[in-house]
Structure 1
């Protein structure tokens, strides 16, 4: 399929500046880029706690009105004495590889830049050179819960490359309602609890035998680890598929990089998230760079509607 440019240009100073900015951002954001370039790119990660427990959750999503799940991802919850971190390790790995590739580009070698915003600009299969994909598959957020401060920090991106946003979420104590109903999840006897939270109703199952008041996403505050939680519409579901007790002699550092982040409110972030594309494709052939937006396969469906 031929590529039909919507905004083609050659040696356009404004776009050249934008591309160089992207390259600079990627150099700063990517840990992989540090090793790839063999120099310090300015990205700083700090250890905020050490985890003694690692939980694996299968996160599945549906679109409204759909019968089948359209995406599943394996998420990780690292739990320390004071802090926990919830994230998608596969997505973080893909983002780091793309950022490393972009960080390796020498700006002085760029001779031309072309940008395509239409759906027809997504087919790079017949183009010479190297193509790098920055799709938005998986979950880009990192959710850090500080149990001492009763505060949640969210780090997230709007697109596959570019600016990262940061907001503090003062959820306070979540208004769980306990039930005497029990069920078995992943071999553990669990108790039921329900929650009304920011426009959605949830049913959770927690294991009192694992006395950790934490869980996937922003869920926490029950007298046991949350092993399963889903909304009553069946759009979002988390189910624990693995639990790893880490050795006391070799605790896992919980690291976070909150540098180079744009501070905002949750409402401001959600407004930006609604503008999210399906990611980007970047083709590099000598000094020629072609960038195309990927169409979004499904609309953005937020877990929080209020």
Structure 2
């Protein structure tokens, strides 16, 4: 019986290890500014961070981490009502923000883990890192004092024109753009909805890890299921949106859903459900 119990514990441990990834020390930190129309017709500049380690890298928006951390502190000190009262203020303080996180090179070298919220549910999936068939050109330009070359390639329904530097022999870039003989310093999609440009390349802080914020708060699913849930959540009207979020709450806590303009979606009869653009179209 004892042997069977040990086997069972070992089995659970192996399952857990297969779902997690080993965090490593970050060696480099790249900062990108991205002019993006996440909501159609509204362009905002998002600041993204790419922390690169020996075998993995993580792409994330630090504004979201700061926002989420401050909101959690307010809730811990004053409870749910304090959090709700401060939500518009804290949200505005860290605007614009985005909860997307991507770990490249984990669990295996040719894979990535994608973390994103759909409504109020954190989801994650593991998928093979796409092999992008880059078309190299002779064009060059200088970005952050590094000489860069141009390449064009498509992934998940978007065509990207990118600039990479062989002076920085790192097989990474913003989002999941990869596969060139140097760090991708700039990337723009053919529709002009997303325009990344590196604004800083430096050694990572000594205590920086290639890590995900609130890893345990994300439920595992497949990429197909994630895209389905995302599509379904964006096809509903404001009342359905609020009702769906409320239906996911079992504690009875008060929930207010704010629209893009900052008003309460439940009482604003003029609000329209916005059309969202995503880095991956398919």
Both proteins in one fold, TM over 0.5: yes
User: Contact between 1:64 and 1:235, CA under 8 Å: does it hold in 2?
Assistant: no
Aligned counterparts of 2:103 and 2:173: Cα–Cα separation in 1: 12
Residue matched to 1:269? 226
Equivalent of residue 56 in structure 1, options 2, 17, 31: 31
Aligned counterparts of 1:77 and 1:46: Cα–Cα separation in 2: 17
Q: Structure 1: where are the runs of 5+ without partners? A: 1-44, 111-127, 280-287
The 1:89/1:47 distance shift into structure 2, 3 A limit, reads: farther
User: Contact between 2:126 and 2:222, CA under 8 Å: does it hold in 1?
Assistant: yes
**1:187-209 CA deviation, whole Å, 9 max, x = no partner?**
21111110111211110000000
Say whether 1:221 aligns with 2:152: no
Q: Which region of structure 1 is more displaced relative to structure 2, 255-264 or 144-153?
A: 255-264
Say whether 1:252 aligns with 2:208: yes
The SS at the match of 1:301 is: coil
1:139 to partner: Cα distance: 1.4
User: Contact between 2:101 and 2:114, CA under 8 Å: does it hold in 1?
Assistant: yes
The RMSD of aligned alpha carbons is 3.2
Alignment of 1:127-146 (within 5 A): 131-133=85-87, 135=91, 137-146=96-105
Residue matched to 1:235? 193
Alignment of 1:1-306 (within 5 A): 48-62=23-37, 66=41, 70-104=43-77, 131-133=85-87, 135=91, 137-146=96-105, 149-159=109-119, 162-246=120-204, 250=206, 252-256=208-212, 257-274=214-231, 275=233, 290-296=254-260, 298-306=274-282
1:62 to partner: Cα distance: 2.6
Tell me: higher relative CO, structure 1 or 2? Use CA pairs within 8 A at least 6 residues apart: 1
Q: Which structure shows the higher helix fraction? A: 2
1:261 to partner: Cα distance: 2.1
User: Contact between 1:207 and 1:224, CA under 8 Å: does it hold in 2?
Assistant: yes
Aligned counterparts of 2:83 and 2:169: Cα–Cα separation in 1: 54
TM-score (norm 2): 0.71
The 1:290/1:263 distance shift into structure 2, 3 A limit, reads: closer
1:224 to partner: Cα distance: 0.3
The 1:76/1:149 distance shift into structure 2, 3 A limit, reads: same
1:96 to partner: Cα distance: 2.0
Q: Which region of structure 1 is more displaced relative to structure 2, 177-186 or 80-89?
A: 177-186
User: Contact between 2:39 and 2:275, CA under 8 Å: does it hold in 1?
Assistant: no
The 1:99/1:269 distance shift into structure 2, 3 A limit, reads: farther
Q: Structure 2: where are the runs of 5+ without partners? A: 1-19, 243-251, 262-273
**How many residues are paired up?**
229
The 1:179/1:130 distance shift into structure 2, 3 A limit, reads: closer
Detail structure 1 runs of 4+ shifted over 6 Å in the superposition: none
The 1:295/1:206 distance shift into structure 2, 3 A limit, reads: same
Q: Which structure shows the higher strand fraction? A: 1
The 1:290/1:252 distance shift into structure 2, 3 A limit, reads: closer
The 1:130/1:218 distance shift into structure 2, 3 A limit, reads: closer
